[in-house]
């Protein structure tokens, strides 16, 4: 772990040792006046990324974070609480790639959905007034939604969906994957896509419910798709550079303090996108 520099504003990106997360840290370091914390599940890979950015004249800090490990999240929370007392920007970027196979489904959901939710739940109390939370979903969420049964689509599109109902939806997918009954139950065999539906809805619920809490009402929570980006996740088939992929997440992370929207939305190329009818 590198030493904090005592600045008040704090921004944190998960899964930032490479790919889009790395480029988001680069963008924050260039545009943000405060401490930017690059997190990674592997300390060596994380420190290497920090050193690469230092060669560019940037100064991110490092903290280890495995989003699928509660102790790791709690350790980070304690660090943030002790040294900063709050958090101004949280970018939920960490995720693992897709798999069609049932035995991979639980692992994919464990990191991409349950891990992201655990980070949010732990760090939520630290969010300062006017904080910004950005979660990397994907256009794959729309693709997957379009292939689900009408019953599941209605549950996804329910504007009043609660976090408990969302968790139930994801658990049902996991159980159907385990019993090899996904298609019968109206799902598509695409755990990554379902995980990205999950985080998109998670962000919607968090953004919507934030409005109800007076002290947190000006916090903006949004999900986004970075586009099709050239990274390890897609074997470098993506057409955008990582810096181009970081543009929409950075736009959401750096929304000015006086704006009230977007909030609880899904953003592609800086535009709000709804679930198709």
Catalytic residue ranges: 192
* Residue 240, strand partner residues: 229
Q: How far is residue 147 from each of residues 162, 175, 193, 194, 228, measured CA to CA in Å?
A: 23, 19, 10, 11, 20
Using CB under 6 A, which of 30, 42, 257, 270 touches ligand NAP?
42
Using CB under 6 A, which of 233, 252, 253, 267 touches ligand NAP?
233
Sheet with 61-64, edge to edge strand ranges: 61-64, 35-40, 10-13, 87-92, 127-136, 220-225, 266-268, 271-273
Among residues 51, 69, 181, the alpha carbon closest in space to that of 119 is found at 69
**121 touching ligand NAP, by CB under 6 A:** no
CA dihedral 256, 260, 265, 269 (to 10 degrees): -40
Using CB under 6 A, which of 206, 222, 231, 248 touches ligand NAP?
231
Distance in angstroms between the alpha carbons of the first and the last residue of the chain: 47
Q: How far is residue 152 from each of residues 127, 156, 170, 187, measured CA to CA in Å?
A: 32, 6, 11, 8
**224 touching ligand NAP, by CB under 6 A:** no
Using CB under 6 A, which of 20, 38, 80, 87 touches ligand NAP?
20
Considering the complex, what minimum distance in angstroms separates the CB of residue 130 from ligand NAP?
A: 24
**198 touching ligand NAP, by CB under 6 A:** no
**115 touching ligand NAP, by CB under 6 A:** yes
Using CB under 6 A, which of 28, 73, 89, 96 touches ligand NAP?
96
**21 touching ligand NAP, by CB under 6 A:** yes
**216 touching ligand NAP, by CB under 6 A:** no
Residues engaged in binding ligand NAP (CB under 6 A): 14-15, 17-21, 40-42, 45, 65-68, 93-96, 111, 115, 136, 138, 225-226, 228-229, 231-234, 238
């Amino acid at each position: 772990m590198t030493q904090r520099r005592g600045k008040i504003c704090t921004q944190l990106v998960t899964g930032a040792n490479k790919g889009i997360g790395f480029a988001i840290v680069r963008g924050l370091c260039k545009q943000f006046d405060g401490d930017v914390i690059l997190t990674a599940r592997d300390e060596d890979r994380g420190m290497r990324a920090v050193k690469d950015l230092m060669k560019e004249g940037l100064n991110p800090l490092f903290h280890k974070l495995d989003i699928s490990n509660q102790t790791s999240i709690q350790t980070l929370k304690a660090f943030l609480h002790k040294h900063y007392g709050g958090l101004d920007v949280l970018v939920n970027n960490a995720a693992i790639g897709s798999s069609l196979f049932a035995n991979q489904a639980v692992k994919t959901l464990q990191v991409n959905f349950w891990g992201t939710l655990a980070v949010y739940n732990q760090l939520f109390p630290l969010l300062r007034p006017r904080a910004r939370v950005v979660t990397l979903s994907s256009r794959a969420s729309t693709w997957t939604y379009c292939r689900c049964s009408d019953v599941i689509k209605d549950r996804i599109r329910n504007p009043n969906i609660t976090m408990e109902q969302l968790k139930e939806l994801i658990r049902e997918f996991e159980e159907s994957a385990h019993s090899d009954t996904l298609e019968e139950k109206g799902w598509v065999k695409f755990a990554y896509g379902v995980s990205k539906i999950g985080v998109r809805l998670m962000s919607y619920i968090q953004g919507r419910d934030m409005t109800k809490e007076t002290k947190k009402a000006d916090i903006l929570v949004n999900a986004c798709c970075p586009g099709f980006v050239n990274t390890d996740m897609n074997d470098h088939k993506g057409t955008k550079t990582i810096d181009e992929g970081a543009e929409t997440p950075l736009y959401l992370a750096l929304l000015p303090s006086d704006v009230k929207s977007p909030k609880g939305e899904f953003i592609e190329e800086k535009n709000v996108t709804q679930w198709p009818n």
